[in-house]
Amino acid sequence: MTATSRPGIPAAAATAPPRPGPLVPGPGCPGAPPPPAEKDRTNSNVRMAVTLEEAPWLGWILLKALMRFALMVANNVCALPSYVFYVIILQPLRVLDSKLFWHIEGIMYKWLIGIVASWGWYAGYTVMEWGEDIKAISKDEAVMLVNHQATGDVCTLMMCLQDKGLVVVQMMWLMDHIFKYTNFGIVSLIHGDFFIRQGKSHRDQQLLLLKKHLENNYRSRDRKWIVLFPEGGFLRKRRETSQAFAKKNNLPFLTHVTLPRIGATKIILSTLVARQENGIPAGENTKELDSKSKGLQWVIDTTIAYPKAEPLDIQTWILGYRKPTVTHVHYRIFPIKDVPLETDDDLAGWLYQRFIEKEDLLSHFYKTGAFPPPKGHKEAVSREMTLSSMRLFILHSFAFLSGYMWYNVIQYFYHCLF
């Protein structure tokens, strides 16, 4: 919203010394300037005119936000219970063919993620992808290491992974435990996502729980990708602490990212990497891998950048009151054999280097509006990520039809019992 400038006195005139001349006539004389009260009233009228001119636009923004919020509520009321009911009636299949059950559950999970992605897509929040094409490894096992700025980061990933084959179907998220208590929490619990509690007092226990969770749920549910935010929190909350830690330990001073924590990354790699480069088993669950599994094969260094460093949050994503904007996502793929796993110091050094490089990527982006080209190339290539409007319409229609069906089923059994 652009504010209308108010009329005023030029700076030069305001600071110039008074010049001798005829007496200024008083308020009651002809040609006298209007009294101050009149000037204030004029300025008040100007402000009122600006407000009245902007009222229709502001009203439309408010109405659109309310309509979008109503759509979100309707989606949740219909889609989330339907997902739960479908999972319940498919429990016999879980006993007969566990792999097929979790594949069907993953497809329904992707549908729900697609609905969330559609809220941003319809508001004009799109994604431009840079760097390497991660579609090429969509069938392999990989872990995504993502910088974290706001709640909108999760929504952005939900959108840009929609066209990556079965990635979302076979994906596991590591997220803050507070999300367990949101409307999407029950879905994530069923799907097998892991909720991690932050803080030094919980750190060791949480890492043990993560290891156990991976051993019990990752292979058995045919998961292949893991999304992790190694910084352990939002940039605005951790930046000062991270910079103090960097100064104390003679590490680079970062402003666009924070130094990552290695605990969760170490647990994931040590548990899921099938073999190290020298052929020695790297994880205790290596014996559980079937003959077709190669274990974790790739690390995808993912960098999210927002224009003017103004991240989207979940409220904006839902209500859509911010102007359409393009979020930029940069990918770099590292083979797991290039990740040093011998000692914690080696892994920490490698992980720190990735985030130092993220800092350089983001600094370049905020200065130029684009990511730098990879080594050996003259320019960087970007790809506009698109979603099918027809597919999104089908997802919403399926959600509402499912909600209507389950409502009638519940109503029927209620009348039969009572």
pLDDT at residue 16 tops 70? no
Residue 182 lies in a domain: yes
Strands 125-131 and 382-385 come out as antiparallel
Q: How many CB atoms lie within 10 A of CB 376?
A: 5
Residue 25 lies in a domain: no
pLDDT at residue 252 tops 50? yes
User: What pLDDT, on the 0 to 100 scale, is given for residue 352?
Assistant: 94
pLDDT tens across 46-93, in order? 444 446 666 777 777 888 889 999 989 999 999 999 999 999 999 999
pLDDT tens across 100-140, in order? 999 999 999 999 999 999 999 999 999 999 999 999 999 99
By the 10 Å C-beta count (0-12 exposed, 13-18 middle, 19+ buried), 293 is classed as middle
Residue 38 lies in a domain: no
Residue 387 lies in a domain: yes
pLDDT tens across 293-337, in order? 678 999 999 999 999 999 999 999 999 989 999 999 999 999 999
Q: Give the phi and the psi of residue 404 in degrees, each rounded to 5.
A: -65, -40
pLDDT tens across 270-286, in order? 999 875 444 444 444 44
Instruction: Find the range with the poorest average confidence among 46-50, 180-184, 241-245.
Output: 46-50
The better pLDDT of the pair 199, 326 is held by 326
Residue 74 lies in a domain: yes
Residue 29 lies in a domain: no
User: What pLDDT, on the 0 to 100 scale, is given for residue 362?
Assistant: 96
Mean pLDDT, the chain, integer: 83
Query: b or e along 17-52 (b: 16 or more beta carbons within 10 Å of the residue's beta carbon)?
Result: eeeeeeeeeeeeeeeeeeeeeeeeeeeeeeeeeeee
Number of domains in the chain: 1
pTM: 0.80
Task: Look at residues 176, 158, 114 and name the one whose alpha carbon lies nearest to residue 312.
Answer: 158
Reading phi first (left if > 0) and then psi (alpha if -120 to 50, else beta), residue 148 is in beta
User: What pLDDT, on the 0 to 100 scale, is given for residue 38?
Assistant: 43
Averaged over 230-242, what is the pLDDT?
A: 89
User: What pLDDT, on the 0 to 100 scale, is given for residue 413?
Assistant: 87
* 8 A C-beta contact, residue 264 and residue 228: yes
The whole-angstrom distance between residue 411's C-alpha and the CA centroid of its chain comes to 38
pLDDT tens across 327-354, in order? 999 999 999 999 999 889 999 999 999 9
User: What pLDDT, on the 0 to 100 scale, is given for residue 283?
Assistant: 42
- Residue 262, domain extent: 62-403
pLDDT at residue 45 tops 90? no
pLDDT at residue 34 tops 60? no
**Six token digits for residue 134:** 């991660």
Residue 41 lies in a domain: no
Residue 17 lies in a domain: no
User: What pLDDT, on the 0 to 100 scale, is given for residue 292?
Assistant: 53
pLDDT at residue 27 tops 50? no
